[in-house]
Structure 1
Amino acid sequence: MSIKQIKISVEDITMGMYVSCLDRPWSQTPFPIQGLLVKSPKEISSLRNYCDYVYIDVTKGLSPIEGTATFNQSKSAGRKVSSGFVSKGLGSAADVTEVSPIEVKRGVYRQQVSLASEVEHAEKALLQLRGQFTLAAKQIVKGREFDYQGLKDSVADMVNSVVRCPDAFTWLLRLRLKDQHSHDHSMRSALWAVQFARFVGMPKDQMSVLCLGTLLKDIGKIKLPNALLRKKKRTPEEVAEYQKFVEYGVEMLRSSNVEPRVVSVVRFHCERHDGTGFPEGLRGGKIPLLARIAGIATTYDAISNPREAEEPVAPSRAVSLLYNLRDKKFQDDLVVQFIQSIGLYPTGTLVELTTGDVGIVVEQHAESRLTPKVAVLDQQKAQASGAYILVDLKDEDLSRRILEKSGRSKAKSVSKLAIARDLDLSGYDVDIAAVSSIFMKSAQMVLETAVSDSVGDETPVRQGGFYANIRDRFRL
């Protein structure tokens, strides 16, 4: 039997190798998912900073025997290679225009308020935006002038809310938007795009353009037959007809005097890095940056909220599918930064802890997205107390003590208290909209502790309204 995986020192890693396993959990490194095709010196440096040895899969990349990849900062075979290197067995999309890495400015926007205090402001902003968006769409379809400034003002309110506390809008979108798919999809996609823009420190005026363009990206679909929109499998002729929605949308927005920067997002959001997009088949750097971001946000939402599925796929599965599209459909570093911006476990995700407890992610830490705040569902005592327990996984020691205090003995024995996996909602009888509604209305998401003078232990405040209201809906 041939050897597929080889253990090597991190000092022997070269570009073109596929790292399949580390000497530590992937969650303790900056890499968003398991498995890495090494394509840059930065990735090699990062692996060396975190690991002593790794395992490489020689069926998916270079082996030590094949030698190292070579840098090529100039042209190779008559064209520039956007990733900056050439390697045996590694290809690059032909004629892809070189793209510049996204400029990331850390610390530009820090969470200014708590989720609990932002909810009321976010709800007002969402309702206002939803109303303006719905009215604008109706007016645009009829070829009439619409209150573009009013829509821009509503978008600015959304941007400001996301800047203050990104999780509030995420919860509200899970809760409020229950109507037609295209409307929900546009609103969610805009949220993912703005969250990404916040994460990389994009100026607010660009955030607003990105948000407006992503909101309006599907406006042209109103001119397509409903049967064509709903059809799962389209003939080549039907595909060509469907793709005209971009052209229709651009025409409608131009006639409504929407600013060119917004129209540009709509026009190019379906273009793809490898040239397989539409309507113009642009490649790489020829696609405007904001349109590239809108394309990623749109695709992520389509994956995690498929039109015909009763329930979306688990977030980690959506992230994995998106990650596999890097350097193909989308620019590599944009995909990686986007995944880091939303995290593996977005707000509202149903998760299982390493203790076996089930909970819901209620708030994230911008700099530590693998250790969010989780409302652990108190299943055993729900009938008696209707309680849940709020733990902050960023403070592992305190979270252990809180869970131990509540009678969860496994909290003491597990080597690492963390999220073990996210759960596919289709496998659980839980109404996430009802859960989020109850949580947002009743929970004060502040972890309080009572310190015993004699023992010195912490006792969590367990708020009864949350689980008491959902216990009839949640049956595991």
Structure 2
Amino acid sequence: MSVPTRKPGELPIQASQVRVGLHVRLPLSWLDHPFLSSSFLVTTEDQVREILALGVEVYCDPKRSKVMPAPLASAAAVDPAHELELTLVRQRQEAQRQAKAVRVKVMADMRAKLDVVQKQYMSAAEQTANAFKLMGARPAECVGVMREVAAESARSLLADPDSAIILIADKAKSQGEVAHALSVMTLSLLLAKQLQLPEAEIQLVGMAALMHDIGHSGVNPSILRNPARNRHEEAVFQTHARLGFDQLAAVGAAVPQGVAEAALHHHERDDGKGFPSGLKGAAIPRLARIVGIANRFDNLANPVDPRTAVSPFEALGVMWAREKTAFEEVLLQTFIRTMGIYPPGTLVQLSDGRSGVVVATAPPSARLCPQVLIYDPDTPRREALILDLADPETAQQLKVLKAVRMQERSEDELDYLLPRRKMSWYRGNS
């Protein structure tokens, strides 16, 4: 990891000048000191001793400090008791370095997993984009490609019982329809897995989700992109459900009935206020109900107008608190349980004041402890810390204080944590 250099306004001081109330920054990599951050406000005498034992010159930030550095003491006789204390501290620091080395390996594995999944995402995106182009002239071929993408994704998900949702934020901006299709597919698969559906039905869920908006091809793009449609435009938009059903039904037996029905009914609501048929409750096909939940979640997190986007954490809150009557309650509860308290893509503030973005869900045994990529403008994003808050040692020092909204963070922070702002949920074969 990069070692930060002195910044404007900072003062170099000796370790012996550090005291409680001073804001310091250590000129060391994260692996070479015992703290969770290289820049922090000193709050305890134990921290003072830890810094002294490091034996390095540190940087002080007067503007962020509550006190001035201690005077530089003149050379004095060595205190054997003090030297013994520092020796013990250094021994403890060495043990902490070794423990950190293990955590660095975990971070490296996480980055490698992200890289693999991103490559798989781009491959699936390319296949899906090409398939969409074939729907008009060669619909059977389009359906075949979609079936294979969905089947491979389902097999991957089922092969890993501890699979987590991975946030891929560095995808191409031009993949709007494709990104939405893949996102809804992955979210639907995760819900289907949580429901413990048979593998054959899970694959159907994936195929239905991937093709749920196939009818968009028959609607003017200006209407699809308009978040403030008038009554006439909304009526035209709603035709995409019937258009998609007709397109899929025309392919014949290659499209299972449930897949075509999901395209037709994924905008129905449990309370009967949806479209196109105003179906209620159990009258809505199960595949359509599953896809409908995933579709709504992704539309909240990734709307046509990005200025109205909410965090994944907020999206779950909206669906539960304001829109509960639109969904079968048990399905919605299961989806929320699947996504976790802090879904990937959620911006969070940690208990030490730092901020970050959740990049992987927490395990069921520690739902409040996700993996978080830490915002640190002094560290390149590629080298940013990814802290596993479920790790016992980390959990003793750090926790999520709260989820925060994108509108509350600076542009620099958002560029660092969510480079593309548009999130895609994709579970790869890793």
TM-score interval (norm. to shorter): 0.5 to 0.7
**Aligned counterparts, 1:200-215, within 5 A:** 200-215=195-210
Q: Does 1:292 align with 2:289?
A: yes
Q: Distance in 2 between matches of 1:149 and 1:130?
A: 15
TM score, norm. by length of structure 1: 0.58
Pair 1:389–1:248, CA change in 2 (3 A): closer
Q: Distance in 1 between matches of 2:308 and 2:298?
A: 13
1:424 aligned residue (388, 393, 405): 405
What SS does the aligned partner of 2:197 have? Answer: coil
Amino acid at match of 2:388: D
Amino acid at match of 2:236: E
1:256 is displaced (CA, Å) by: 2.0
- Conserved in 1, the CA contact under 8 Å of 2:268 and 2:275? yes
What SS does the aligned partner of 2:387 have? Answer: strand
Pair 1:150–1:236, CA change in 2 (3 A): closer
Pair 1:130–1:331, CA change in 2 (3 A): same
- Conserved in 2, the CA contact under 8 Å of 1:140 and 1:256? no
Pair 1:206–1:177, CA change in 2 (3 A): farther
**Aligned counterparts, 1:276-287, within 5 A:** 276-287=273-284
**Aligned counterparts, 1:185-200, within 5 A:** 185-200=180-195
Amino acid at match of 1:237: H
Amino acid at match of 2:405: D
1:223 aligned residue (218, 224, 230): 218
TM score, norm. by length of structure 2: 0.64
2:329 aligned residue (327, 332, 350): 332
Pair 1:229–1:326, CA change in 2 (3 A): closer
1:364 is displaced (CA, Å) by: 2.4
1:360 is displaced (CA, Å) by: 2.6
Name the structure 2 match of 1:312: 309
What SS does the aligned partner of 2:153 have? Answer: helix
**CA offset digits 1:403-434 (Å, max 9, x no partner):** xxxxxxxx4xxxxx421122323423222454
Q: Distance in 1 between matches of 2:271 and 2:382?
A: 53
Q: Distance in 1 between matches of 2:154 and 2:326?
A: 27
- Conserved in 2, the CA contact under 8 Å of 1:250 and 1:267? yes
Name the structure 2 match of 1:265: 262
Q: Distance in 2 between matches of 1:191 and 1:265?
A: 15
Name the structure 2 match of 1:253: 248
Q: Distance in 2 between matches of 1:228 and 1:376?
A: 39
Q: Distance in 1 between matches of 2:382 and 2:265?
A: 50
Q: Point out where structure 1 has 5 or more consecutive residues left out of the alignment.
A: 1-113, 402-410, 412-416, 437-476
**CA offset digits 1:283-341 (Å, max 9, x no partner):** 00111112111111111111111111247312222111111245511111211111111
Q: Distance in 2 between matches of 1:127 and 1:152?
A: 17
1:128 is displaced (CA, Å) by: 3.4
- Conserved in 2, the CA contact under 8 Å of 1:115 and 1:363? no
Q: Distance in 2 between matches of 1:224 and 1:382?
A: 45
Name the structure 2 match of 1:49: none
Q: Distance in 1 between matches of 2:420 and 2:176?
A: 21
Which is worse superposed, 143-152 or 322-331?
143-152
- Conserved in 1, the CA contact under 8 Å of 2:215 and 2:243? yes
Greater per-residue helix proportion: 2
**Aligned counterparts, 1:11-90, within 5 A:** none
- Conserved in 2, the CA contact under 8 Å of 1:352 and 1:422? yes
Q: Distance in 2 between matches of 1:203 and 1:118?
A: 27
Amino acid at match of 1:138: K
Amino acid at match of 2:309: P
Name the structure 2 match of 1:345: 342
1:140 aligned residue (135, 138, 141): 135
- Conserved in 2, the CA contact under 8 Å of 1:178 and 1:184? no
Amino acid at match of 1:171: L
Which is worse superposed, 189-198 or 287-296?
189-198
Amino acid at match of 1:301: D
Amino acid at match of 1:392: D
What SS does the aligned partner of 1:422 have? Answer: strand
What SS does the aligned partner of 2:223 have? Answer: helix
- Conserved in 1, the CA contact under 8 Å of 2:259 and 2:287? no
- Conserved in 1, the CA contact under 8 Å of 2:349 and 2:401? yes
Q: Which structure has the greater CA radius of gyration?
A: 2
Q: Point out where structure 2 has 5 or more consecutive residues left out of the alignment.
A: 1-108, 422-430
Q: Distance in 2 between matches of 1:388 and 1:123?
A: 18
Report the count of equivalent residues: 304
Name the structure 2 match of 1:84: none
**CA offset digits 1:239-297 (Å, max 9, x no partner):** 22221111111111112232212112112111110101111111001111121111111
Amino acid at match of 2:372: V
Name the structure 2 match of 1:376: 374
Q: Distance in 2 between matches of 1:389 and 1:184?
A: 27
Name the structure 2 match of 1:275: 272
1:235 is displaced (CA, Å) by: 3.1
**CA offset digits 1:329-357 (Å, max 9, x no partner):** 11112111111111232224321112212
Amino acid at match of 1:236: R
Q: Distance in 2 between matches of 1:276 and 1:338?
A: 21
